[in-house]
Amino acid sequence: MNFYMTFGTTEFLSDLKNTLESGENLLMFGEDNAVLMHETVEQSSFKSGKNFEVLDSNGDLSKGKFAVLNNIPVTDEGRPVFEYRFSQRAGLIEKEPGFAAIRVLRPVDSDTYVILTLWEDVKYFKQWQESKAYDKAHEKRGTSDGVDQKQQIFPRPSYVTTYYAEIPEQD
């Protein structure tokens, strides 16, 4: 399965979304831009953006109203270690209230993996961060067994981006 993301203005991506004929797609909005995500067995029709292979998949993209993208740069040598770690995940997040979908995405033309989780609402993501399932998923973080301690596989720090299915109201 292939997964594509392209970024731009709401208007441009909305028009582009209407041209997609196969697969699942999701238009979401961030602070400074919008993202169109497209999951399909076909090749991308996007002229620019990010291309991925789906390593792990659970849930329905269309149910996601809040997206969290954990962007993790990994060296070529570190890919097998990183992918093994995610192949062994407990799968507890799928049982959390408000969980909609997860995609573990291998980059095709960059070094940055994306762990995409989709939630029915931002409140469910925040509740998960306070849960035992979150603690279990991150229990080795900061220990000698944690993937975060294997610095040689991470060329630079990871970062998180978030998007909403609707444009959030400004305070």
Element spanning 132, H or E: helix 132-137
pLDDT score of 167: 60
Task: Using a pLDDT cut of 70, give the percent of the chain over it.
Answer: 88
CA atoms within 13 A on the CB side of 129: 8
Per the CB < 8 A criterion, the answer to whether 28 and 164 are in contact is yes
Helix, strand, coil % in the chain, rounded to nearest 5: 25, 35, 40
Q: How many angstroms separate the Cα of 90 from the Cα of each of 37, 60, 64, 93, 136?
A: 26, 19, 21, 8, 8
pLDDT score of 92: 79
The pLDDT tens digits of the residues spanning 34-83 come to: 999 999 998 888 889 999 999 999 999 999 999 999 999 999 999 999 99
pLDDT score of 104: 96
Domains of the chain: 2-164 (3.30.70.100)
For the residues 74-101, what does the mean pLDDT come to? 90
Element spanning 82, H or E: helix 79-87
Phi and psi at 79, nearest 5°, equal: -55, -50
Quick check: 148 pLDDT over 60?
Answer: no
pLDDT score of 125: 94
Quick check: 170 pLDDT over 70?
Answer: no
Quick check: 26 pLDDT over 70?
Answer: yes
For the residues 144-162, what does the mean pLDDT come to? 77
